[in-house]
Amino acid sequence: MSLDLVLITGMSGSGKSVALRALEDAGYYCVDNLPPQLLGAFVSLEQANDASRVAIAMDVRSATALPLVPQQLREMRSRGVQIRPLFLDSTTDTLVRRFSETRRRHPLSSQDTEGHTDPLLRKRALVDAIELERELLADLRDQALVIDSSSIRAAELQAQVKALLSAPASQLTLVFESFAFKRGIPVDADYMFDVRMLPNPHYEPGLRDLTGLDQPVVDFLQAQPGVDEMFRSIEGFLQRWLEPLALDHRSYVTVAIGCTGGQHRSVYLVEKLAAAFGQRWTTLKRHRELSRAGG
């Protein structure tokens, strides 16, 4: 029996514990903060015990040993382990706010910097720690499916993690994500396309409160010059480069489509692209702003 291993890494404060709980609910045996030096031995033990699903979380507290992980993953894949690397990320502003609200200490912050009485100096020290953490985790991020937890609730993060489990681990998975530029650029995008130049249904009174999932909006956009041309342009780019990405052993590619409000044009194009590429590749869809609105 092949072992299915989900390896969760990511920024401190980005929701790794929430993701781990979602996997535990899905029947995975979960281990938090496993030292990288023990990863190979632990996986061998689970294989000997005929385990089928294991999830492991690692973070920057093991910073000195994290460079060992990419080679360990290659060795485990050669032994038939199905590995799903998952990286939780958030914008720096979001992480600063979360640490400030919870009064938690960042694992890379020193006691001296945390003792600053000036709030501006404390914030600067926290930002420095976060940016150092990004550098230390960059190699792991490059190999993983990235989920941006900046603007989603815990329940939506759990839903996205569970959606990951529905995709085969052995082939390229495409993630199409709609978003609003006015709420910030998603940090999990491999490719990002700006479609704000297309006609906006927001200015049609009968369409303003609908979304790109609703047929009247679909009909409106299908009738507009340029919308199909934009779709064909994005489709052509991806058709050209997905096969080389798959041959380069990429497991996940996230394509973000942005418009002003993340409600009409980007949602419509994500749905259309997911339908087109779903005939060849495993595809997942995310509508960031609709998830926020849905509570």
Task: Enumerate the known binding-site residues for GTP.
Answer: 59-62
Q: What is the chain's alpha carbon radius of gyration, rounded to the nearest angstrom?
A: 21
Q: Is the dihedral of CA 286, 287, 288, 291 positive or negative?
A: negative
Binding residues: 10-17, 59-62
Query: Rounded CA gap, 113 and 265, in Å?
Result: 45
Q: Taking each helix axis as running N to C, give the angle between helix 119-142 and helix 69-78, from 0 to 180 degrees, rounded to the nearest 10.
A: 30
Binding residues for ATP: 10-17
